Structure 1
Amino acid sequence: MLLVVHTGRVENRRVAEKVAGWFAGAGVALRVVDDEAPDLDPSCYARVVPLGPAAAEGVELVFVLGGDGTFLRAAELAHPAGVPVLGVNLGRIGFLAEAESDALADVVQRVIEQRYQVEERMTVDVTATVGGRVVASTWALNEASVEKSSRERILDVLIEVDGRSVSSFGCDGVLCATPTGSTAYAYSAGGPIVWPDVRAMLVVPSNAHAMFSRPMVVGPHSTVAIEVDPEGHEAVLCCDGRRTVEIPPGARIEVRGGRTPVRLVRLVEGHFTDRLVDKFDLPVHGWRSR
């Protein structure tokens, strides 16, 4: 397995040693990427691999110890190989007490015994062109955003869906999000929450200076295009907050359903509604529960 750790925290490194010991005791070899290896005890891994698209080739799954940012970094490594990703959010859970250590041991045991399910999450593929020349080609699990490059300026864009113009306006940016990303950046920008089994793309303008600026939900086979005004200002294309490209005026960014999904590991069956209530700490007790 490939072990990905938020090594910036001492507690995470201690947990990584414990997890590595459990896996080693079951005969499971771990590999780590070369930029994390210096921060980890050599007992944590049997092999060091270069950071890049081949890091997860040949592994059973990617085991992540860290928060949401660490998970996205791991998904970036797992995506090219189609390897499932299991995230243990230590920042949210904090496996420090004895009972919590037992819970983590149970997670590891389930992985060793392959007692888990794998679900696929839709991604988006993104291409940016200038004058017909490709200047960027990337992907996103949560969202691809086209944003103004300077705080003082307005980004003027034209939105198209399947080659048909929809609207032009000035804005801070436009997000094209997946259902997975609907509870992340797109939610903060005013987009709807979409259940993960719905295959669709969200188009969410950010602070648009227009009467028609509501979020749109389009089909998974549609192509959403964002054209940056050739007489306007530079923009920035950012995917999952990790892969960033500067975009010149006159660029065209096309977003469509991704060819390769991200595969997520679920240890127990659960409903998205329950996870949603837990994530946002939603009030579910009212007059009907009296």
Structure 2
Amino acid sequence: MTKLPANPQSHARNARAAALAALAILPFLSGQGLAAEAWQEAGSGAVAILPVPTGATAITGGSLVCAEQRWSLRLRTGPRETPTSAVPAQLSVDAKTYPILAEQQARTITLPLSREIVEALKGGSRLTADLGSDDTVTAAFPLRGSRKVIEAVAPLCSQVDMSAYAKIELSETDAAVETARSLLEEEIGLFRAATTATPKVAATRLDRGAGKEMLFATLCGSAWYYGRTGCGLFGFVRTGPVGGWREAYNSEGLAIYTDASTSNGGWPNLVTLDRFDLEPMHWSWNGERYEPRDPLIAADEDPRTGTITP
């Protein structure tokens, strides 16, 4: 049998084909590597998928979840012992350590995260979780791409549930704006002197019956002057249609609500929520003006918990 001579062109074509095949598979392989090392969006909801953990014992994966503006780290595990809501744990972001009480379920461990920890996750390079249960439960996660993913899912996080209260809606076109400008004339002058600008005014009035009225107004336009919200919130009351208005409330610009379940002297309790905070603040009428309530008493009477103190 005559052996045909090797075809150099055929060898060249085969070599090129092999090289192209290798190049074609590289993106797939590198993509797998990136998926294992970088954070990813879950695709729905305020959920970020953590990379595959390294140096893990009992932990197989994790996710960062946000609901009602509260962030938590959920770690997946194998079957666990009896669930408990107070497992001592600590998270470390680079060199800084945060002690936390975790909640252990059958196949997950949930760690509540403060805003400080979430901010640290954005800028760090390595996250380590260590749970002080009977057996060692540890894992480390790289933080590559964490900032981009966390900031992408954060707008999808649900708001704090304030459905038990009635929100006080202020508007720049409300008829109460003219009265608010008059009541806040001195404050507007101080704002102009300090910033050389004119603040935006929004307001509304609430009729409490028996001649009692409330007026709330905001002046907005400078985070330097009013703090991080850029607004000041003011409340006024009067006890009759011919009576004078007097200031009864003053704070940084917050979302403000009335609590119909509690009042004092015909004036409803107020509830405010800072968009930079997680817990609402409760205010009650002291006979002269509104003042913050004791947080423990407010928590006992919070209608969201269904525990109203008699």
TM-score with structure 1 setting the length: 0.28
Q: Which has the larger radius of gyration?
A: 2
TM-score with structure 2 setting the length: 0.26
- Which structure shows the higher strand fraction? 2
